[in-house]
Chains A and B, each alone.
Chain A
């Protein structure tokens, strides 16, 4: 049973560019959440997708957007990259019920130079 997979694992971008990160959920899961983890901090919630719609959103600017596909996989897009967007981006998947365990991918480490 494949767990949550993310791609790419590492990425270097220039300030002002745009980036797309990808996530495939664990088999049987239909809800995908994205988190940003800065160095030395806990992960911060960006947004969650369910049934191809953004269900909840954290305190992140509109430069952060996402998408969920019919097969439940998801993309995170960040426009106009800032140096401060450098972080580990984590994807989590879970079932549709509220009280279900979340599982995380290995993350994408984004460096903006």
Chain B
């Protein structure tokens, strides 16, 4: 099946800094999603982005499907951005999500 790799595994930032999280996938995909897992475990949808670029406030994401990667940008980070960020993708022809291992982000005041 498809392999999803995220980098970096851990990231520590000062409040106000910018960051880029990367997601590589091993095969063509027809869906890619970014999630933020809150401290209680719920996965919060950030972006549904099989290709192209989207922006939502301080967050934006870009997926280059032909090169099999996606990037999540966080600008002017806040302490509330702390948590684990996951990307997940679906194989073409399948409808289940394969997750990466996540990036643990800690934003300090």
Could you tell me how many residues of chain A have their Cβ less than 8 Å away from some Cβ of chain B? 28
Among candidates A102, A105, A107, residue contacting B97 with C-beta atoms closer than 8 Å: A102
Interface residues of B in 1-30 (CB under 8 A from A): 4, 30
Task: List the B side residues contacting A76 at CB < 8 Å.
Answer: none
A48 within 8 A of B: yes
Q: Is there contact, CB below 8 Å, between A31 and B95?
A: yes
Q: Is there contact, CB below 8 Å, between B31 and A98?
A: yes
Among candidates A56, A98, A101, A104, residue contacting B48 with C-beta atoms closer than 8 Å: A101
A92 and B43 alpha carbons, distance in the complex (Å): 10
Q: Which of A33, A45, A109: most chain B Cβ within 10 A?
A: A45
Taking the closest CB of chain A, its distance from the CB of B78, in whole angstroms, is 23
Q: How many A-B residue pairs have CB under 8 A?
A: 66
A42 within 8 A of B: yes
Taking the closest CB of chain B, its distance from the CB of A17, in whole angstroms, is 22
B66 within 8 A of A: no
Among candidates B41, B50, B97, residue contacting A88 with C-beta atoms closer than 8 Å: B41
CB closest chain-A residue, reference B104 = A40
Q: Is there contact, CB below 8 Å, between A48 and B96?
A: yes
B33 within 8 A of A: yes
Interface residues of A in 64-113 (CB under 8 A from B): 88, 90, 92, 94, 98-107, 109
Q: Return 25 A-B CB contacts under 8 Å, by A number.
A: A33-B96, A33-B97, A41-B101, A42-B100, A43-B43, A45-B98, A48-B95, A55-B95, A90-B41, A94-B95, A98-B31, A98-B94, A98-B95, A99-B31, A99-B90, A101-B31, A101-B33, A101-B45, A102-B88, A102-B97, A103-B45, A106-B40, A106-B41, A107-B40, A107-B42
Residue numbers of A with Cβ under 8 A of B are 31, 33, 35, 37, 41-45, 48, 55-56, 58, 88, 90, 92, 94, 98-107, 109
